[in-house]
Amino acid sequence: MASRFWTQGDSDSEEEESDYEDIDENVVGASESTTTAAGSRYLQGNASDSDDSDTQKRVVRSAKDKRFEEMSATVEQMKNAMKINDWVSLQESFDKINKQLEKVMRITEADKVPTLYIKALVMLEDFLSQALANKDAKKKMSSSNAKALNSMKQKLKKNNKQYEDLISKYKENPEIEDEDYEDEEVEEDEDSDLEFEEDPSNIAAGSGSEEQSDEDDTRSADEQGADWQKKMSKKDKLMDKEFKKDPSEITWDIVNKKLKEIVSARGKKGTGRVELVEQLNFLTRVAKTPAQKLEILFCVVSAQFDINPSLSGHMPINVWKKCVENMLVILDILNQYPNIVVDDVVEPDENETQKGADYKGTIRVWGNLVAFLERIDVEFFKSLQCIDPHTREFVERLRDEPLFLVLAQNIQDYLERSGNLKAAAKVSLKRVELIYYKPQEVYDAVRKWAEQRGEGNDGEFEAVESKGPEERRGPAPFVVVPELVPRKPTFPENSRVLMDALVSLIYKYGDERTKARAMLCDIYHHALMDEFSTSRDLLLMSHLQDTIQIMDVSTQILYNRAMAQLGLSAFRNGLTAEAHSCLSELYSAGRVRELLAQGVSQSRYHEKTPEQERLERRRQMPYHMHINLELLEAVHLTCAMLLEVPNMAANAVDSRRRVISKTFRRFFEISERQILTGPPENVRDHVMAASRALTRGDYHKAFDIVTAIQVWKLLKNWENVSQMLRDKMKEEALRTYLFTYGSSSYTSLSLDQLSKMFDIPESRTHSLVSKMMITEELHASWDQPSRCIVFHDVELTRLQALSFQLTDKLSILADSNERAVDSKIGGGGGGGLDGLPLRRRDGADNNSNSAALTSAAAAGGGGRWQEKTSYGQARQSGGGSTTTGRSGYYANAGGGRPVTPGQISRDRNGQTRGGAGSYGRPSYQSVSSTKMDSSARMVSLNRGIR
């Protein structure tokens, strides 16, 4: 390897110089003509390449060496091929070397092509022109060989174009080194001139620090020891040379200039990202003023962000930790010098940071703490996404969470103190997002862990620092910053307390998106804490169901998560209907995984583009935030069963009527169709088996089957829930029984028998049956002295049923006519419809104002559809507190609809559903008829009174 070869001979000083020049050149490089820059760089590139391996870890180096070896081996092959004039193998080798080149470039992270490669190219070119010139030889070649020659000709032409400059340079002057050195020498002279110029002022300024500088001198002399030299990276050595020898000579100007140099090298090709960070790190130690140190630290942090270039991968964890540490130091400085203001609006003065620690006025430094924090958060999140959750690494990574929390807490404190409450709200959201999904137990564990770590030693920070030996060897930093901000997070006992504090700050100062997200987290957390009604109220009050469709995807996912959690919470509280309405939409499309961002669901019907897939993968929730899908499914199906089984029994004759859960119906039908049913295996099988038992009224068996589902044990206080489930099953079994056998097989049934049969207390049985009577589900009444239910036979004949259908359809027709006329004429509708019953008018109003969908359902419905649906509607008919917005809620099946990420503009079929609720029910007893005969049957005690 040529490059290694000649670098070894170089003296240290030369190397340093060349590198210094390299940086210099990068600064100027933009303006300079590219040819010369590239030319000189090309050689230095080699130099720095081999040197890089010193600064980097050994593992990397061996890999790099291997690549180089491979490459030179290929060159050897090419040479051999040339000797025997074998163009076929030459072509192969050429392809191979190109591939190897890519690898080498990737590893060295440089854009300079190795000389080895250029050399090979030149050699090839020469050989090719030779071969072409020699026409006779060409004719003699075999056909395949000639073909290869031709294609090689073209390839080489194309390929060499890229490296034209380098090749010509190489050809001109294969011995560039000497020339380069001369250049550098000149540069050095200039540099030292510069230093001398600055010296006097510096000495004058810091004459008192001579002792210290002496000390430093001796130390630096010590450090120049032999084994030391090896370890030291070239850059550091350069810096040391420049700065260490006489620290008192270092002035703000030098540091500033150096900083500018380094910063301008950032992002350019050929600048090692890791080195950049190291250089900057060094600078932080020699910074003269706190403000300058701050400025440099900001650069360090952003350079650290740059280390991971790709969007999908995550930042190396140790870098992440260092980054957090740097941020903490930034906060230390900010706390120590309250007159320093961080700002990203105005570009501060050139020399703003020159003002020393004793400067009284405000010093502006460019930077954005919140943006940094958010980036750190994103990196943390990404790392959790990427790491396999079943490894130890994942757990280790999770333990870093308190680190982030403490940083966020400190930043928030700082921002609050400096009055930037909007930014504080943003930071506070980040904290909320780390806490909201943790149940109290997990929260306690995190709290304990954080405290332990705080006590044990100063924790990971220490470890982080000790990892990098370079941290300790530098000169004592000029600006010493004591650790002012606490390094361990403080957690209140109860996560609710923390949530409340954070969330209330956000509600006060956050922007719309922050508020919405905080609200969703709040809802989620409340639901997690079993406060179903609170979280439901929050959801309803926030009107989030209406606006969620237009929000960004991650917020929509959060919304779905909150809905799922709400459903679980409702179930734990025994509110099966509510739980079902929360969850049914999630399950309606069979894309739960996608909706909750917990894995990708395969869809047969529409293929995703790679782009979409990548986006989706980026949205995935880390494993520890997952909601157990199996549990969710179990809850959903169980709720659906409890609602749907009696419903099916009630409307056995007329299957077109109201379906509560389409998903459940579909599953049930599938399982019914099976000829042989084996013992249940998964959640769905269990619930289906239970449903079959329940249909027969066998609550005992149904309960046993459902409780056999393993995943229940993940449910919080399962004992109570199972008790609740048992009661519910009994009740629903009773209802199913009455529906199925009641009026068709019995004329009367005694209460005692019924309550014994289903093991329900008499009073409860009475209340249940009474309710069924009142809602007209059961055509029967009590015979009080004998405690019996007496069934009435009110079956309609076929003709009657049909005529009811006819009248229903007619009224639908009339409705639509009115609507049509209304929309044509407009306005006049109200007056024209004065004489009609209130119900109708409401319907008409509703049509003109689609937002008030509910009023149709509420006023026009009044039927069962509504009475049985969930909690949503009472509030719903209560309307929004300030707008009519709440109506969307009901339209969304009482539970709000989960939103589909990436498919924002889904039509609101709530509307059509609402319509179906009030009009489209061509059955023998439509809404209105129910209403009428119920009112006719009602013992009206009001007739006489006024």
Partner 1 sequence: MAAAAAAAASKYDLTSTMAPNLDRHLVFPLLEFLQERGLYPEEELFKAKIELLNKTNMVDYAMDIHKSLYHTDDVPQEMVERRVEVVARLKALEESAAPLVAFLQNPSAVQELRADKQYNLQMLNDRYQIGPDQIEALYQYAKFQFECGNYSGAADYLYQYRALCTNSERSLSALWGKLAAEILMQNWDVALEELNRLKEMIDSKNFSSPLNQVQSRVWLMHWSLFIFFNHDNGRTQIIDLFNQDKYLNAIQTNGPHLLRYLATAFVVNKRRRPQFKEFIKVIQQEQHSFKDPIIEFLACVYVNYDFDGAQNKMKECEEVIINDPFLGKRVEEGNYSTVPLRDEFLENARLFIFETYCRIHQRIDMEVLAEKLNLNYDEAERWIVNLIRTSKLDAKIDSNSRTVIMEMTYPNVYEQLIDHSKTLSQRTYKLVSQLLEYAEAQPAR
Binding partner 1 (rule: CB under 8 A), the pick from 84, 480, 675, 838 is 838
Q: Is 480 in the site for partner 1 (CB under 8 A)?
A: no
Distance of CA 760 to CAs 178, 699, 729, Å? 101, 12, 11
- Longest distance between any two alpha carbons in the chain, whole Å: 126
Question: Which of 728, 875, 897, 921 is the binder for partner 1 (CB under 8 A)?
Answer: 875
- Residue 764, Cβ density class (10 Å: 0-12 exposed, 13-18 middle, ≥19 buried): middle
Q: Which is closer to partner 1, CB of 477 or CB of 828?
A: 828
Tell me which stretch binds partner 1 (CB under 8 A): 92-100, 401-409, 676-684, 820-828: 820-828
- In whole angstroms, how large is the CA radius of gyration of the chain? 39
Residue 857 DSSP symbol: I
Toward partner 1, which CB reaches closer, 329 or 575? 575
CA distance 788 to 781: 8
Q: Interface with partner 1 by CB under 8 A: which range of 108-116, 250-258, 464-472, 866-874?
A: 866-874
Q: Does residue 938 belong to the site contacting partner 1 (CB under 8 A)?
A: yes
- Looking at beta carbons only, is 144 or 720 nearer to partner 1? 720
Q: How far is the CB of 783 from partner 1 (least distance, A)?
A: 5
**Beta strand pairing call for 748-750 and 780-783:** unpaired
**Residue from the set 160, 722, 877, 923 that interacts with partner 1 by CB under 8 A:** 877
Stretch that binds partner 1, among 90-98, 485-493, 666-674, 934-942 (CB under 8 A): 934-942
Residue 112 or 886: the one with the smaller Cβ distance to partner 1 is 886
Strand, coil or helix: what is 780?
A: strand
Q: From 441, 445, 415, 418, select the one nearest 430 (Cα to Cα).
A: 415
Q: Are 34 and 67 in contact (CB under 8 A)?
A: no
Q: Is 494 in the site for partner 1 (CB under 8 A)?
A: no
Judged by beta carbon, residue 310 or residue 940, the one nearer partner 1 is 940
User: Which three-class secondary structure state does DSSP give residue 791?
Assistant: strand
Q: Is 943 in the site for partner 1 (CB under 8 A)?
A: yes
Q: Nearest-CA neighbor of 94 among 142, 156, 44?
A: 156
Helix (H, G, I), strand (E, B) or coil at 938: coil
**Quick one: 206 or 832, whose CB is closer to partner 1?**
832
Nearer to partner 1, 711 or 812 (CB): 812
* Least spacing, CB of residue 689 vs partner 1, in Å: 32
* Residue of 347, 376, 386, 389 lying closest to 364 (CA atoms): 347
Q: Which of 878, 909, 912, 920 binds partner 1 (CB under 8 A)?
A: 878
User: Is the Cβ of residue 375 or residue 766 nearer to partner 1 in the bound state?
Assistant: 766
Which amino acid appears at position 100 of this protein?
Q
Q: Could you give the CA distance from residue 774 to residue 51 in angstroms, rounded to a whole number? A: 89
Q: With respect to partner 1, which residue has the nearer C-beta, 43 or 857?
A: 857
The region of 121-129, 445-453, 684-692, 833-841 touching partner 1 under the rule CB under 8 A is 833-841
Q: For partner 1, give the closer residue by CB, 226 or 874.
A: 874
- CA dist., res. 559 & res. 521, Å (int): 9
Q: Which residue is it, tokens 């949205």?
A: 619
Minimum CB distance to partner 1, residue 635 (Å): 20
DSSP 3-state of 252: helix
Amino acid at 429: L
Question: Which is closer to partner 1, CB of 62 or CB of 817?
Answer: 817
Smallest separation (angstroms) from partner 1 to the CB of 942: 6
Find the binder of partner 1 among 201, 218, 677, 763 (CB under 8 A): 763
Instruction: Considering the complex, state which of residue 349 and residue 762 has its C-beta at the smaller distance from partner 1.
Output: 762
Helix runs in 589-682, H state only: 592-596, 610-619, 629-650, 662-673
928 part of the interface to partner 1, by CB under 8 A: yes
d(CA 82, CA 936): 107
Name the residue nearer to partner 1 (CB basis): 141 or 421: 421
Using CB under 8 A as the binding rule, the residues of this chain from 539 to 578 that contact partner 1 are 541
Q: Which long-range contacts (CB under 8 A, 24 or more apart) does 345-352 make?
A: 352/291
Nearer to partner 1, 84 or 936 (CB): 936
Q: Which of 490, 601, 767, 909 binds partner 1 (CB under 8 A)?
A: 767
* Residue 765 interacts with partner 1 (CB under 8 A): yes or no: no
Say which amino acid occupies 924: Y
Touching partner 1, residues 123-162 (CB under 8 A) = none
Per-position x/- string for 769-808, each x denoting binding to partner 1 as judged by CB under 8 A, each - no binding:
-xx-xx------xxxxxx---x-x-x-x---x--xx--xx
> How distant is the alpha carbon of residue 144 from its chain centre?
55
Among 63, 463, 714, 932, binds partner 1 (CB under 8 A): 932
At how many degrees (to 10) do helices 34-55 and 2-9 cross? 80
Bridge partner residues of 377 (DSSP): none
Q: Which residue number, 45 or 914, has a Cβ lying nearer to partner 1? A: 914
What is the smallest separation between the CB atom of 821 and partner 1, expressed in angstroms? 6
Encode 166-231 in three state secondary structure: HHHHHHHCCCHHHHHHHHHHHHHHHHHHHHHHHHHHHHHHCHHHHHHHHHHHHHHHHHCCHHHHHH
Tell me the closest approach of the beta carbon of residue 840 to partner 1, in angstroms.
7
- Residues linked to residue 789 through DSSP beta bridges, in sequence order: 749, 782
- Check binding of 6 to partner 1 (CB under 8 A): no
Q: Which of 814, 849, 902, 920 binds partner 1 (CB under 8 A)?
A: 814
CB 788 within 8 A of CB 782: yes
Q: Does 821 bind partner 1 (CB under 8 A)?
A: yes
Pairwise CA distance, residues 130 & 127, whole Å:
5
Nearer CB in complex with partner 1: 122/891: 891
Q: How far is the CB of 358 from partner 1 (least distance, A)?
A: 45
Q: How far is the CB of 721 from partner 1 (least distance, A)?
A: 17
- In the bound state with partner 1, the residue whose beta carbon lies nearer, of 143 and 940, is 940
- Told to check if 497 binds partner 1 by CB under 8 A, we report no
Interaction of residue 811 with partner 1, rule CB under 8 A:
yes
Q: Which two tokens stand for residue 601?
A: 């669901």
- Tell me the number of residues near partner 1 by CB under 8 A: 68
User: Applying CB under 8 A, does 828 fall inside the site for partner 1?
Assistant: yes
Residue 225 is a binding residue for partner 1 (CB under 8 A) = no
Burial 373-390 (b: 16+ CB within 10 A, else e): bbbbbebbbbbbbebeee
Helices (H), 529-603: 532-542, 544-547, 553-572, 576-588, 592-596
Q: How far is the CB of 458 from partner 1 (least distance, A)?
A: 44
What Cα–Cα distance (Å) separates residue 209 from each residue in 61, 197, 206, 216, 397? 42, 20, 6, 11, 45
Alpha carbons 762 and 370: distance in angstroms, whole number: 63
Q: Which residues bind partner 1 (CB under 8 A)?
A: 533, 537, 541, 763, 766-767, 770-771, 773-774, 781-786, 790, 792, 794, 796, 800, 803-804, 807-808, 810-811, 814, 817-818, 821, 824-825, 828, 832-833, 835-838, 840, 858, 862, 871, 873-875, 877-882, 928-929, 932-933, 936-946
